[in-house]
Amino acid sequence: MNNMIVLPMAIPLLFGILLVFLQPYIRFQRWGTVFMLVINSAVSIYILLTIQTKGILRLDFGEWLPPFGILFVADSFSMLLVVTTSIVSTFAVLYAFATIGHEREQLYFYTFVSFLIAGVNGSFLTGDIFNLFVMFEVMLLASYALITLGGKKFQLKESIVYIAINVVSSSLFLIAIAFLYGTIGTLNMAHISERITEVGQTPLLTVISLLFLLVFSIKSGLMLYQWLPGSYSVPPTAIAALFGALLTKVGIYALFRFFTLMFYHQPGITHKVIGFMALITLIGGSIGAMAYINIRKIISYNVIISVGFILIGLVVASTVGYEGAIYYLIHDMFAKALLILLGGTMIYLTKTELYDEMSGLIRNYPLLGWMFFLTVLALVGIPPLSGFIGKLLIAQGAVQAGEYVLLIVGFLSSLIVLYSLMRIFMNCFWGETILSEDDVKPLRKIVLLPCLALTITVIALGIYPESIAPIVQDAAKTLANPDLYIKAILNN
């Protein structure tokens, strides 16, 4: 049974290698990738349901028992993100069929998407910090190829910044791992936690934890987000949706895992720093969302705002806060992918990225307009859509912890999200149409269906939060009680 844990990473990795040899067969690559993602989703859901009955699962590679070998660990938190990754990726790939272009498909687009998903899922599942570094690099190498795919001048300009920033952060990651191993003498996450508990979180370990915080902040866009708006606004829409929905979430996951499992002994230092960084992220993201008229840039800054808001749940360090953060994290992966796909569709129809050059789209594309409107409401947290329950629980946790400044700024940022996205909605969909009858392009079903499926998911998660409530509660319980994770790994 435990051998199945490796499949969400191994299936896309092996399939991506297979696609290298089948590059001329575009139709097979398209539908084969979708089939692979559907299988991966089904396997991931099965593992997630198994955890609810059997508890945390682990796989020891080569039968080397912890803490000596490499291992994968599946708990409710990691598997929720794996399931969401597989489902969101399926819709993004379907959208790519009609939008990515034959030229990019011939440049191994589906291969790199498979490798990207393998790296993301591997990052969620590993229980070893060096293996986490390896999975990050698999994910990042695939993202380097995807951000430059097609070789347009504006892509290459932003990709230089993206690659340079990530090379620096990866170097710092490796340095932090070396310092931690030299201090603690182990790479197993559960064993690191046990060692730190035994010796206490010394000033040296606190400094090391802040170095990890710097690394994951760069990767998630927490305060150090200056590279993100440009990098996420230049790839084709399907690739941008994968980046916005998945890549920052891996950094957020690592922050939650490290600062609930290992470095939780000095919250007066580490969590206060995270809180300050979340505050700056919310303010900076809000300013950026209001400052631009470019739809892609506005959406990118909304990605940044959500990073700051989710990290409030980590700062409050309570079960309620963790529940809210997990709910909102899952919601944001679906909603941000949907928002990016809808924004890209609008740009495709009008041939402009500036919202003040669009008008009257609701007349010819009413379904597109109302899906955008519902997405805005979900991101703001209007009940009964998916963003409401996460924001409510994060607010409850912030009140209990006395983090009133973060709470106030967080909800003010929600108003900025509403303002920035409603500007797009009112300018682009209402008023006199700018499209003549000859300019109106029929939207293909393969473009609308992924957006419609994501919209239904966002609505369903809001109306039926109890469908995942037991799983979210179990995930939050594991984060709040690191002993549960440690015992599942080290009690051989």
pLDDT for 234-277, tens place per residue? 999 999 999 999 999 999 999 999 999 999 999 999 999 999 99
170 pLDDT band, cuts 50/70/90, is very high
Cα torsion 78, 124, 222, 344: sign: negative
CB within 8 Å of 297: residues ≥ 6 apart: 229, 233, 288
E strand or H helix that includes residue 74: strand 71-74
Structure tokens at 461: 């998660």
| pLDDT recorded at residue 435 | 64
| pLDDT recorded at residue 62 | 84
Torsion of CA 401, 402, 405, 407, to 10 degrees: 50
Calculate the CA 302 to chain-centre distance: 13
E strand or H helix that includes residue 57: strand 57-60
The number of CA neighbours under 13 Å toward the Cβ of 473 is 7
The answer to whether residue 463 scores a pLDDT higher than 90 is yes
Tens-place pLDDT, residues 273-326 = 999 999 999 999 999 999 999 999 999 999 999 999 999 999 999 999 999 999
The chain-wide mean pLDDT, for the chain, equals 94
Total residues belonging to the chain: 492
**Percent of the chain clearing pLDDT 70 (strictly above):** 98
363 pLDDT band, cuts 50/70/90, is confident
The answer to whether residue 186 scores a pLDDT higher than 90 is yes
Query: Pick the residue with more confidence: 153 or 8?
Result: 8
| pLDDT recorded at residue 60 | 92
Going by C-alpha positions, the residue among 306, 425, 443, 289 that lies closest to residue 362 is 425
**Percent of the chain clearing pLDDT 90 (strictly above):** 85
Q: Across residues 71-98, what is the average pLDDT?
A: 96
| pLDDT recorded at residue 152 | 80
Pairwise CA distance, residues 306 & 247, whole Å: 13
Q: For the chain, what is the domain count?
A: 1
Going by C-alpha positions, the residue among 226, 454, 461 that lies closest to residue 340 is 454
Q: Across residues 55-65, what is the average pLDDT?
A: 91
Q: Does residue 221 contact residue 284 with C-beta atoms inside 8 Å? A: no
- Strand-pair category, 57-60 with 71-74: antiparallel
Domain with 219, as residue range(s), is 2-490
The answer to whether residue 492 scores a pLDDT higher than 70 is no
Q: Does residue 196 contact residue 265 with C-beta atoms inside 8 Å? A: yes
Pairwise CA distance, residues 240 & 348, whole Å: 14
Q: Across residues 338-345, what is the average pLDDT?
A: 96
Amino acid at 378: A
Tens-place pLDDT, residues 367-423 = 999 999 999 999 999 999 999 999 999 999 999 999 999 999 999 999 999 999 999
67 pLDDT band, cuts 50/70/90, is confident
Beta bridge partners of 188: 128
* CA distances, 47 to each of 37, 75, 80, 95 (Å): 15, 9, 10, 27
The answer to whether residue 1 scores a pLDDT higher than 60 is no
E strand or H helix that includes residue 267: none
Structure tokens at 402: 């006395």
